[in-house]
Amino acid sequence: MAPIIHIQDLRKQYDPPRGVLAVQDVDLDIEEGEIFSFLGPNGAGKTTTISMISGLLTPTSGDAVIGGYSITQSPMAVKELIGVVPQEIALYPTLTGRQNLRFFGQLYGLGGAELDRRVDEVLEFIDLTEHANVKVEKYSGGMKRRVNIGVGLLHNPKIVYMDEPTVGVDPQSRRRILDTVKQLNQERGMTVLYTTHYMEEAQELSDRVGIIDHGEMIAVGTVGQLISQIGEEDRLVLRVDAINDAFLDGLRKIEGVTDVSGADGEVCVLAKRGRKAMPAAIHVAGETGVLIESVRIEEPDLEAVFLYLTGRALRE
Ligand SMILES: Nc1ncnc2c1ncn2[C@@H]1O[C@H](COP(=O)(O)OP(=O)(O)OP(=O)(O)O)[C@@H](O)[C@H]1O
Ligand SMILES: [Mg+2]
């Protein structure tokens, strides 16, 4: 089957010829039913890409075909197919949650009983039925976010784009939003394109992740594939009362250990299977007269992948 999102050589330069090259020749296929995340720091080009593949922003070059429709040739057809949850909250503060949904529903061409039904369904889905008749200006950040998401779901799209939907919300709302994404995907088979600069979210939600930096898609794959690029070693961090050479040498001899370094009462052991190396490390400590005060295992994550690929931390 053809991918539901097919992006080809997509490029955007704002204010040419000297302006920012915000998206640089991105190629990407997303399959129907996937949750795909764009993971990248501020200014990476996530929103610019989303805007182009929504038919809202004209690319400098390249194209994308969404559900069979080209964004450059049939932007209106693309808009009907997708739901967009923009990064900036776009709601009328003096209207209630329900009135906002009704207003945007009408913009999508809904009316009559169908509009009533969809608005009720969406309110239920975003768990705001109880607060439906309260003005949005009285809502918390998380509630506003949820209405913003609701707007994107009103016309029951096959594909939804969510642009950093958890920024600035409390942990409870964040949890609820992540669960909503999973539910849309699992229960309704919706294809979800999700952008974030939180690696934990990308890691939890996604079937595949595209790491984007300075407008370039620098790596694409499942979380497991991306992590295996950097050699799946765990980092075992031992806090000890004192460090001696016999201890470090002993650690180096443990099976699966590839590197050992120690400073300031902390010893760092890189090992193929950190958990497996732990009992041996404790044994070595006993033999060499070292007291272990605490042990921590850090498994490699997308943050480590980003660091490896760019030399920078995801969040500076
Ligand atoms: N309308 C615009 N005019 C000129 N430059 C822009 C415009 N919008 C974005 N840019 C620039 O393009 C680059 C990519 O921005 P974009 O908003 O797509 O990044 P992002 O990954 O969504 O970032 P964030 O995580 O902060 O939302 C940045 O350098 C930004 O300053
Ligand atoms: Mg953005």
Which is higher by pLDDT, 298 or 184?
184
Q: Can you list the positions of beta strands (E) in the chain?
A: 5-13, 21-30, 35-39, 61-66, 69-70, 82-85, 159-163, 191-196, 208-213, 216-221, 234-240, 257-263, 266-271, 292-298
Q: Could you tell me if 92 and 99 are in contact, meaning their C-beta atoms sit under 8 angstroms apart?
A: yes
CA distance 223 to 148: 28
Q: Please determine, for residue 299, whether its predicted confidence score (pLDDT) is greater than 90.
A: no
Q: Which of 10, 13, 20, 166 for a ligand 1 pocket mutation test, highest count of atoms within 8 Å of Cβ? A: 20
Which is higher by pLDDT, 313 or 187?
187
Q: Is 48 in the pocket of ligand 1 (CB under 6 A)?
A: yes
What per-residue confidence (pLDDT) applies to 280? 95
What per-residue confidence (pLDDT) applies to 103? 97
Q: Give the number of the atom of ligand 1 that is nearest the alpha carbon of residue 197.
A: 25
Q: Give the number of the atom of ligand 1 that is nearest the alpha carbon of residue 38.
A: 21
What per-residue confidence (pLDDT) applies to 63? 98
Least reliable range by pLDDT among 117-121, 130-134, 312-316: 312-316
Protein residue with its CA nearest to atom 26 in ligand 1:
42
Q: Is 45 in the pocket of ligand 1 (CB under 6 A)?
A: yes
**pLDDT tens per residue, range 85-103:** 999 999 999 999 999 999 9
Q: Is 59 in the pocket of ligand 1 (CB under 6 A)?
A: no
Distance of CA 208 to the CA centre of its chain: 10
In the chain the domains, ranked by start, together with CATH numbers, are 5-228 (3.40.50.300), 234-299 (3.30.70.2470)
Q: Please determine, for residue 14, whether its predicted confidence score (pLDDT) is greater than 70.
A: yes
Whether the upstream peptide bond of residue 157 has omega within 30° of 0, thus cis, is no
What per-residue confidence (pLDDT) applies to 190? 97
Q: Give the number of the atom of ligand 1 that is nearest the alpha carbon of residue 48.
A: 18
Instruction: Give distance in angstroms: CA of 200 to centre of ligand 2.
Output: 18
The rounded percent of the chain whose pLDDT value lies above 70 is: 100
Q: Give the number of the atom of ligand 1 that is nearest the alpha carbon of residue 215.
A: 14
What per-residue confidence (pLDDT) applies to 116? 97
CA distance 53 to 125: 26
Q: Give the number of the atom of ligand 1 that is nearest the alpha carbon of residue 51.
A: 18
CA distance 96 to 36: 32
What angle separates helix 141-153 from helix 112-125, to the nearest 10 degrees? 140
- DSSP lists the bridge partners of residue 237 as 268, 296
CA distance 173 to 176: 5
The dihedrals phi and psi of 102, each to the nearest 5 degrees, come to -60, -45
Q: Please determine, for residue 185, whether its predicted confidence score (pLDDT) is greater than 70.
A: yes
**pLDDT tens per residue, range 46-91:** 999 999 999 999 999 999 999 999 999 999 999 999 999 999 999 9
Q: Please determine, for residue 232, whether its predicted confidence score (pLDDT) is greater than 80.
A: no
Q: Is 42 in the pocket of ligand 1 (CB under 6 A)?
A: yes
Q: Please determine, for residue 234, whether its predicted confidence score (pLDDT) is greater than 60.
A: yes
The chain-wide mean pLDDT, for the chain, equals: 95
Q: Please determine, for residue 316, whether its predicted confidence score (pLDDT) is greater than 70.
A: no
- The tokens for 297 are 């295992």
Protein residue with its CA nearest to atom 3 in ligand 1:
14
What per-residue confidence (pLDDT) applies to 275? 85
The rounded percent of the chain whose pLDDT value lies above 90 is: 88
Q: Please determine, for residue 315, whether its predicted confidence score (pLDDT) is greater than 80.
A: no
Question: For 166-174, what is the mean pLDDT?
Answer: 91
Q: Is 86 in the pocket of ligand 1 (CB under 6 A)?
A: no
Closest listed ligand to the CA of 45: 1
**pLDDT tens per residue, range 241-271:** 999 999 999 999 999 999 999 989 999 999 9
Q: Is 196 in the pocket of ligand 1 (CB under 6 A)?
A: no
Contacts 24+ apart (CB under 8 A), 84-87: 84/50, 84/54, 84/56, 84/152, 84/160, 84/161, 84/163, 85/148, 85/149, 85/151, 85/152, 85/160, 85/161, 85/162, 85/163, 85/165, 86/148, 86/163, 87/47, 87/163, 87/164, 87/167, 87/195
